[in-house]
A and B are shown apart, each in its own frame.
Chain A
């Protein structure tokens, strides 16, 4: 079609400004798509952290705080749950399984989680996926540790290596349980959840490394060796939290109420899905703000395009008069300007997508090594396509403004060539 080829030739003639305009739109599109991508990735990895668990129980505090320390290993519990309370609640006939969680120690910045074999059997993440071992076996005895994949990868640990657990959380300056080292017996496969950053040991081991401790420090003059501790009764006195699976989802609320009204001590039971949503909503303010900013950047890009086309219009009145004299109708002139705007917007969108993928390919390994966040490079989603389609459509529609002006000029000028 004559008009499209004319529009392309005309843009090539003004390639410098056209290129800058396309680049501005492309950058804004890259930003918008990038934000969308990160938002989607974050939400997915967020929702994938836990599944299949009906309730999470901890000492009474906030729902989000409980979720953060029990699932995300962020922050600390304010209080513990007595072992007896745990036993009593776990014995509820509606309860199918429980996973005890004991937190508070760390290894070189990674949290140590005390639990039992039920963890490997019942814990689920993503879409009902069970934990699998990449190497070794689950812990069975004292002073055996199973590492999350990222722990092993970052610290370069292999099976049968000895590691020392520190008391408290943090990377440096902690008192270490160096009299009772652990042996790595298993390494978990990658899950993309906080499990990857966790060192798993048995509840008894947690108890054992603390027998000669009190109030966060070694009891002076009392040293019980790793051999001696094997002979002791190591039933834990407390745990930090526990996860609950029910026989039937229908009983979720009644069990939750029973736990919340438990007389032995103040406890809190939360529905992980609800708490995750709450936490996500909390963070979504930032996400929404980011999205709003990128939308404004796209609008800025399109306004820039409008400015460039409008500014060129006056010097192109002669060109339009010539086109009119060789038979172009005012409608052709209108179409020419709209096509130009549409072409600029389309080229901007295409370049933006190319830039996005180029950027993703470059930053992906960096992001993964530095934050452990795995960004999947995916095809554009239907939502992305809708957004891109919308930008191109708006680009075309914006072309109406200069098109109307050019149309008026060409009617008013006729074939008078104005210099």
Chain B
């Protein structure tokens, strides 16, 4: 597990939402290697989303270091953190991942509008951003041509999640964070979706951090762990 050059490295991280609260996260150490597919299991309210927000640099811990790709993101200025996140991390959420007033393709290329790094990387693969979006969607089994004129809100939940996955993957971010992306899907679609996601993540060499309460998905991952195992705050509260 311990590598000399981990992609994610959390050290003595403590986080509380408000000053007077108890720490919701207290993680002495947590590492993820490049290219790893890690499953984190935890009940709702156990601090999963908080952990992902910390790694994503949306929030910063009161103590400790959050290192991503060797950069201590919690020590960056907030604007730099935002830029870092945009360039290196792709997100997939549970549902309603898409901006309703943008078209399918526009939703996919959205990260390239905020990050030059993602944009340039996407353009090394395809001639235009739209072509790259089409390529990714096709790989995820969603042929755009077969969905003429549909707005994203008219897509099925499964289709929406594939669009979200394509958006997370565009421009080859090193880390894909998925927060319960399959919980709104039927079990048969769930498996297909995961397989496609794995395949694409592997193709670009992205690390996958997957959070869910659904333990049945565990066997598909390289490594799985319960959040309570790394979070001392959870132990104390007696989970």
Contacts and interface: CB of A to CB of B under 8 A. Distances in A.
B70 interface: no
Interface string B89-125: 0010110111111100010001101110010000000
B121 to A, nearest CB: 13
Contacts of B79: 329, 331
Interface string A5-25: 010011011000000000000
A326 to B, nearest CB: 4
A2 B101 contact: no
B97 to A, nearest CB: 7
A319 B115 CA distance: 18
A417 interface: yes
Given A12-B101, A414-B59, A325 B91 contact: yes
B6 interface: no
B114 A415 contact: no
Contacts of A10: 101
Nearest to A328: B114
B93 A9 contact: no
B85 A9 contact: no
Contacts of B101: 9-10, 12-13
A94 interface: no
Contacts of A325: 56, 85, 91, 93
Contacts of A12: 101
A318 B110 CA distance: 15
B102 A415 contact: no
B173 to A, nearest CB: 10
Given A2-B114, A329-B82, A332-B114, A323 B99 contact: yes
A375 interface: no
A331 B83 CA distance: 12
B82 A327 contact: yes
B58 A13 contact: no
B25 to A, nearest CB: 14
Interface residues of A, number: 24
B97 A327 contact: no
A415 B81 CA distance: 14
Given A2-B113, A327-B115, A329-B79, A417 B85 contact: no
Contacts of B86: 326-327
Interface string B49-87: 100110010110000000000000000001100110111
Given A10-B101, A319-B99, A416-B53, A326 B58 contact: no
Interface string B36-55: 00000000000001001100
A322 interface: yes
B11 to A, nearest CB: 21
Contact of B111 (A9, A326, A415, A419): A326
B9 interface: no
Interface residues of B, number: 31
Contacts of B106: 9
Contacts of B85: 325, 327
A124 B106 CA distance: 69
B162 interface: no
B167 interface: yes
B100 A415 contact: no
A324 interface: yes
Contact of A414 (B53, B99, B118): B53
Interface in A322-343: 322-332
A414 B56 CA distance: 10
Interface string A306-321: 0000000000001100
A319 B52 contact: no
Contact of B167 (A326, A332, A416): A326
B114 A417 contact: no
Given A326-B111, A415-B52, A415-B53, 6 more contacts: A322-B98, A326-B91, A327-B86, A331-B79, A414-B59, A415-B49
Interface of B: 49, 52-53, 56, 58-59, 78-79, 82-83, 85-87, 91, 93-94, 96-102, 106, 110-111, 113-115, 118, 167
8 contacts: A9-B102, A9-B106, A323-B110, A326-B86, A328-B114, A329-B79, A329-B83, A417-B94
Interface of A: 2, 6, 9-10, 12-13, 318-319, 322-332, 414-417, 419
Leading 10 A-B pairs by shortest Cβ distance: A327-B86, A327-B114, A13-B101, A414-B58, A2-B113, A325-B91, A329-B82, A326-B111, A326-B110, A9-B101
